[in-house]
Structure 1
Amino acid sequence: MTPSSAASCGSDPIVLRWTQGSKSVPMARRELRKTLADWGLVDIEDAASLVLSELLTNAVRHARVPGREIETRFFPLLNGLRIEVHDSSEQRPLMAMPETGTVGGWGLPLVDTLSENWGVSDRQGPGKLVWAHLISDPVDGIPRHL
């Protein structure tokens, strides 16, 4: 992990880089939880952690490019959070509903359910970024996306 910006900067985005190993996912979740606590967004912590886990796991498993790292970015929004996962692979994820009883393939449908919206975008340089927006509702403590 290599922080590219100062952690706990309030409204500044948090940019981190990760190796393509399985230990990156729990480490990234820990960093996200710290960030959400600093930004006062603990009401979306569980959903955001799941979304980040799914997006980063997809990048680790399916977007391997030798010698390249995966980057996560967390942006505070006026009423929530934007999560981005950048990788160097041109292969874009496709969401398809797996058949009942299937063990894998539920990641993007889960992201679709938990986030306000999500998508895949081009980025400067090789590869893509996959993003998701989660909305906080501090009035009653229940995220709007649920």
Structure 2
Amino acid sequence: MRFSSTAASVALVRHQVEKTLSKWDYVLDDIDRVVLVSSELATNAVQHGHVPGHPFQVTLTSTHDACLIEVSDASPHTPVARRATTEEEHGRGLPLVSALAARVGHHTRKPTGKTVWAHIPRTSNAPAPTP
């Protein structure tokens, strides 16, 4: 799924991820976790990965035991988790993603940019969706 690099697109990401996972028969707890992680990664793509004229992309891959979320943008800058103070309103996204995911990482994307990904285990071992 491709989205324009605007704040309004984050709500569209949440909606599309929820809709997709519902079609794939995910249970509500798993949908909520994947939607939250997708929202955090999409927000980071808009706030920190924005390159004018370049959309960002969200890819979901499902297996019987997990969902892989990949958010790609055109910025070459790698994500950096910060320690937010109690007074700060921002800076908790990547620690939250790390807390909800089994694994988190990023890699360079060709010809430009990066992909940030999170591997979220399913609480219910439903069959993987058929393409």
TM-score by length of 1: 0.80
- Residue pairs, 1:104-123, within 5 angstroms: 104-123=90-109
CA distance in 2, matches of 1:88, 1:95: 19
CA distance in 2, matches of 1:131, 1:64: 17
Q: Supply the AA of the counterpart residue of 2:4.
A: T
RCO greater where, 1 or 2, for CA within 8 Å and sep 6 or more?
2
Would you say the 8 A contact 2:10–2:43 is kept in 1? Answer: yes
Q: For residues 32-56 of structure 1, what are the alpha-carbon distances to aligned partners after superposition, in whole Å with 9 as ceiling and x for unaligned?
A: 1111111122331111111011100
Would you say the 8 A contact 1:118–1:132 is kept in 2? Answer: yes
The runs of at least 4 aligned residues of structure 1 exceeding 6 Å deviation read: none
Would you say the 8 A contact 2:76–2:108 is kept in 1? Answer: no
Q: For residues 105-132 of structure 1, what are the alpha-carbon distances to aligned partners after superposition, in whole Å with 9 as ceiling and x for unaligned?
A: 0000100111111111112210000000
- Residue pairs, 1:76-115, within 5 angstroms: 76-115=62-101
Query: Which stretches in structure 2 are left out of the alignment for 5+ residues?
Result: 126-131
Would you say the 8 A contact 1:41–1:80 is kept in 2? Answer: no
Would you say the 8 A contact 1:90–1:128 is kept in 2? Answer: yes
Which residue of structure 2 aligns with residue 34 of structure 1? Answer: 19
Would you say the 8 A contact 1:122–1:129 is kept in 2? Answer: yes
- Residue pairs, 1:53-92, within 5 angstroms: 53-92=39-78
Percent sequence identity is: 37
- Could you tell me how far 1:25 is from its partner in structure 2? 0.6
Which residue of structure 2 aligns with residue 22 of structure 1? Answer: 7
Q: For residues 7-26 of structure 1, what are the alpha-carbon distances to aligned partners after superposition, in whole Å with 9 as ceiling and x for unaligned?
A: xxxxxxxxx10001111111
Query: Which stretches in structure 1 are left out of the alignment for 5+ residues?
Result: 1-15, 140-146
* Total equivalences in the alignment: 124
TM-score by length of 2: 0.89
- Could you tell me how far 1:101 is from its partner in structure 2? 2.7
